[in-house]
C-alpha cells in the first residue's frame, strides 16, 4: 500500500477518460520510473487523476509532460469541479458573475448554485431560449439575429453584454448552440455551440465548439466548457487555446 500522503490528486476537464489514459500510456514510454503509478476515476464533471508514489520531482515532471499534451488550462490541483474552481476565483477576487443561456437551459446556473455560498458571487442567470427573449430581455438586436443567426459569435457576445447590464455584474458568460437531436444544418450541425465571455468594461471573447454525443452530452459539455472559459478569461489568459477531443 502506498501511504496516503504520497498520493497527488488532479482534476482534468474537457477530456474523456479514454483520451486521458491514452496520453498517460504514451507518457510511460518516455518516462522511466519504477515507483510512480497512476489511476483515473470518472466524476460527473471531470476525470480525477491520481498519481501515486514516486518522488515529488518525478510527479512534477510527469504532470508537466501531461500538461504539454492536454494543455495546462484543463488540469487543476486537487479533486475540484470546474464550477467550484471558478467560484473560488470569483470569491477570492470579490467579483460577481451572471449567465445568459440558450441551449444549456440553465445548467450552468445549476452547476454554480449547487455550491454552498455561491450567492456571494453569482447574481443570477437568464435562460433566453427563444430569439424573442434574447431581444426583449438581453437587448440583442433583432437585425443581428436575422443576419448572423442565433448560434453565432456576435450573438453570444451580445448576450453576455446584455446579461451584464441586466444583472449589473462584473462578468458574464453566454451559451447558444444546437443540442439536437434535430435543428442541425450542414453549416451548423448538431453539437455546434458558441460560448462567449465578457466583462463590464465591454471586453468580450468567444469561440465555437463542436461537441459529440446526444442532447444531454452536448448540454453538459457546453456548460463545463463555459465555466472553464470564464475562469481563464478572468485570469487574463487566452481561453482560445483550449483544445479538446472530448
Question: What contacts 185, CB < 8 A, 6 or more positions away?
Answer: none
Is 114 a member of any domain? yes
Give percent of the chain with pLDDT exceeding 70. Answer: 94
Is 183 a member of any domain? yes
Q: Give yes or no: residues 8 and 123 share one domain.
A: no
DSSP state of 46: S
Q: Give yes or no: residues 136 and 91 share one domain.
A: yes
Cβ–Cβ under 8 Å, residues 2 and 59: no
Cβ–Cβ under 8 Å, residues 20 and 70: yes
Query: For residue 243, what pLDDT band results from cuts at 50, 70 and 90?
Result: low
Pairing label, strands 171-177, 192-199:
antiparallel
> pLDDT digit string (tens) for 70-122?
887 899 999 999 999 999 999 999 999 999 999 999 999 999 999 999 999 99
CATH number assigned to the domain comprising residue 66: 3.30.70.2860
Is 246 a member of any domain? no
Q: How distant, in Å, are the alpha carbons of 23, 90, 120, 121, 174 from that of 93?
A: 34, 5, 12, 10, 21
E strands, 75-120, are 75-77, 97-101
Q: Give yes or no: residues 98 and 219 share one domain.
A: yes
- Picking from 77, 99, 119, the residue at the C-terminal end of a domain is 77
In the chain, helix, strand, coil percent, each to 5? Answer: 45, 20, 35
Is 199 a member of any domain? yes
**How many structural domains does the chain have?**
2
> pLDDT digit string (tens) for 209-235?
999 999 999 999 999 999 999 999 999
- Tell me what pLDDT residue 242 has: 65
Structural domain that includes position 131:
83-241
C-alpha–C-alpha distance, residues 218 and 240, integer Å: 19
Q: What is the pTM of this model?
A: 0.94
Q: Give yes or no: residues 116 and 154 share one domain.
A: yes
> pLDDT digit string (tens) for 137-183?
999 999 999 999 999 999 999 999 999 999 999 999 999 999 999 99
CATH number assigned to the domain comprising residue 201: 3.90.950.20
What are residue 89's phi and psi, to 5 degrees? -65, -45
Q: Give yes or no: residues 211 and 156 share one domain.
A: yes
Amino acid at each position: 500500500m502506498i501511504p496516503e500522503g504520497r498520493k497527488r490528486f488532479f482534476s482534468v476537464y474537457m477530456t474523456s477518460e479514454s483520451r486521458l489514459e491514452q496520453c498517460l500510456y504514451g507518457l510511460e514510454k518516455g518516462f522511466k520510473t519504477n515507483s510512480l503509478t497512476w489511476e483515473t476515476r470518472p466524476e460527473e464533471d471531470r476525470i480525477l487523476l491520481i498519481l501515486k508514489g514516486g518522488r515529488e520531482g518525478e510527479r512534477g515532471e510527469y504532470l508537466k509532460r501531461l500538461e504539454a499534451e492536454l494543455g495546462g488550462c484543463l488540469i487543476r490541483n486537487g479533486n475540484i469541479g470546474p464550477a467550484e474552481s471558478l467560484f473560488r476565483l470569483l470569491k477570492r477576487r470579490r467579483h460577481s458573475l451572471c449567465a445568459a443561456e440558450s441551449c444549456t437551459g440553465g445548467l450552468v446556473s445549476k452547476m454554480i448554485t449547487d455550491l454552498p455560498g455561491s450567492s456571494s458571487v453569482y447574481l443570477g442567470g437568464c435562460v433566453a431560449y427563444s430569439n424573442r427573449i434574447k431581444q426583449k430581455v438581453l437587448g440583442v438586436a433583432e437585425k443581428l439575429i436575422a443576419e448572423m443567426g442565433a448560434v453565432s459569435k456576435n450573438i453570444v457576445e451580445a448576450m453576455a453584454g446584455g446579461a451584464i447590464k441586466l444583472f449589473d455584474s462584473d462578468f458574464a458568460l453566454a451559451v447558444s448552440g444546437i443540442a439536437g437531436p434535430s435543428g442541425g444544418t450542414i453549416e451548423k450541425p448538431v453539437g455546434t455551440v458558441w460560448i462567449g465571455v465578457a466583462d463590464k468594461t465591454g471586453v468580450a471573447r468567444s469561440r465555437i465548439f463542436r461537441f459529440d454525443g446526444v442532447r444531454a452530452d452536448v448540454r453538459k459539455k457546453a456548460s463545463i466548457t463555459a465555466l472553464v472559459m470564464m475562469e481563464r478569461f478572468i485570469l487574463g489568459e487566452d481561453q482560445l487555446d483550449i483544445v479538446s477531443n472530448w
